[in-house]
A and B are shown apart, each in its own frame.
Chain A
Amino acid sequence: MSRPGFPEAAREALSDSQLRRNLGKATTTIRAKRHEVVSEVDDWQALRDAGAAIKRRAMATLPEQLERLEASVTAAGGIVHWATDGAQANAIVADIARRHETREVIKVKSLATDEIDLNEALEREGIHAIETDLAELINQLAGDWSSHILVPAIHRNRAEIRRLFEATIARGRTLDDSPEALTEAARLHLREKFLTVPVAISGANVAAADTGTIAVFESEGNGRMCLTMPRVLVTVMGIEKVIPEFRDLEVFSQLLPRSSTGERMNPYTSMWTGVRAGDGPQEFHLILMDNGRTRVLADEVGRDALHCIRCSACLNVCPVYSRTGGHAYGSIYPGPIGAILTPQLEGLENAPTLPWASSLCGACYEACPVKIDIPKILVHLRGRVVREVKDGAGAEKAAMDVVARVFGSRRSYERAQRLARVGRGPLNKLGRSAPGLRAWTEMRELPEVPDHSFRDWWRARDRRGGGDGAGAS
Chain B
Amino acid sequence: MAVAPSPGEAARGTRVALFITCFNDTLFPGVGQATVEVLERLGCTVDFPEAQTCCGQMHANSGYQLEALPLARRFVRVFADAEAIVCPSASCAGMVREAYPRLAGLANDDGLAREAAALIPRVYELTEYLVDVLGVEDVGASFPHRVTYHPTCHSLRGLHVGDRPLRLLRAVHGIELVELPEAEECCGFGGTFAVKNADVSMAMLSDKLRHVLDTRAEICTAADASCLMHMGGALRRMRSGTRTLHLAEILAAQE
Contacts and interface: CB of A to CB of B under 8 A. Distances in A.
A21 interface: no
Contacts of B63: 355, 379, 382-387
A4 to B, nearest CB: 13
A452 interface: yes
B33 A386 contact: no
Interface stretch (B65-73, B120-128, B173-181): B65-73
Contacts of B156: 362
Interface stretch (B17-25, B162-170, B212-220): B17-25
A434 B200 contact: no
A447 B204 CA distance: 20
B197 A357 contact: yes
B197 A443 contact: no
B137 to A, nearest CB: 22
B188 A444 contact: no
B49 A473 contact: yes
Contacts of A382: 61-63
A357 B52 CA distance: 31
- Among A446, A452, A472, the one with the most B-chain Cβ atoms within 10 Å of its Cβ is A472
Interface in B31-46: 31-33, 36, 40, 43-46
A436 B196 contact: yes
Contacts of B64: 383, 386, 397, 400, 404
A387 B65 CA distance: 10
A48 B46 CA distance: 42
B32 A472 contact: no
Contacts, number: 219
A413 B203 CA distance: 34
Contacts of A358: 190, 193
Interface size class of chain B, counting residues whose CB lies under 8 Å from the partner chain: 35 or more
Interface stretch (A137-145, A180-188, A216-224, A318-326): A318-326
Contacts of A397: 64
A447 B33 contact: no
Contact of B70 (A7, A324, A357, A408): A408
B103 to A, nearest CB: 10
B255 interface: no
A125 interface: no
Interface in B180-198: 184-186, 188-198
B188 A319 contact: yes
Interface residues of A, number: 71
Given A379-B60, A440-B198, A454-B32, A359 B102 contact: no
A14 B199 contact: yes
B237 A443 contact: yes
Interface stretch (A94-102, A192-200, A463-471): A463-471
Contacts of A124: none
B32 A379 contact: no
Interface in A369-401: 376, 379-380, 382-387, 396-397, 400-401
B203 A366 contact: no
Contacts of B237: 443-445
Interface string A132-157: 00000000000000000000000000
Contacts of B29: 450, 452-454, 456-457
Interface string A419-447: 01000000100000011110110111111
A407 interface: yes
A10 interface: yes
A452 B46 CA distance: 20
A79 B232 CA distance: 63
Given A450-B30, A469-B40, 14 more contacts: A359-B186, A361-B190, A386-B62, A404-B67, A408-B53, A417-B26, A439-B195, A439-B199, A453-B25, A453-B26, A455-B20, A458-B50, A468-B40, A473-B50
Interface of A: 6-7, 10-11, 14, 319-320, 323-324, 355-363, 365-366, 376, 379-380, 382-387, 396-397, 400-401, 403-404, 406-410, 413, 417, 420, 427, 434-437, 439-440, 442-447, 449-450, 452-458, 467-469, 471-473
